[in-house]
Amino acid sequence: MEIKKWLNTTITRRDAIVATAKVGAAVTLSQAITLPFATTAQAQDTPIPKDANGETVRHSACLVNCGSRCPLKVIVKNDRIVRIEPEDAKDDAVFGEHQIRPCLRGRSSRWRGL
């Protein structure tokens, strides 16, 4: 019976405008209040370590449009990509933690690496 009563109520244009203004005020107020745990963390600038050859390792993802976004380790020397290797952070010996390796197409496309 309560549903019929609710469905048969009429709403005026004034009621709709007042309700919309209340919702807008509530949204505006909620955006103005900052929560202590909602602050954005700022990362520190850390120098990228270089090895003896002057090569640096940067991490990227394979973007050859197959949809898997395989992780890549991109070796860079003098701001040029020297080679691309698969990411080797996971241990295949552990059950359920297999390594996602990029295909040869993803590993050979240097121009999309960084």
pLDDT in tens, 53-80: 888 888 888 777 777 677 888 888 888 8
pLDDT bin (cut points 50, 70, 90) of residue 37 is: low
- Whole-angstrom distance, CA of residue 109 vs CA of residue 58: 15
Joined tokens for residue 77 = 């020397």
Based on the domain organization, do 107 and 72 belong to the same domain? yes
Is position 108 within any domain?
yes
3-state SS class at 83: strand
pLDDT 10s digits, 76-109: 888 888 888 877 766 667 776 777 777 777 777 7
Beta carbons within 8 Å of 50's beta carbon, 6+ residues apart = 56
Number of domains in the chain: 2
Joined tokens for residue 54 = 């002057």
Based on the domain organization, do 66 and 29 belong to the same domain? no
pLDDT bin (cut points 50, 70, 90) of residue 19 is: very high
How many C-beta atoms lie closer than 10 Å to residue 84's C-beta? 20
Is position 69 within any domain?
yes
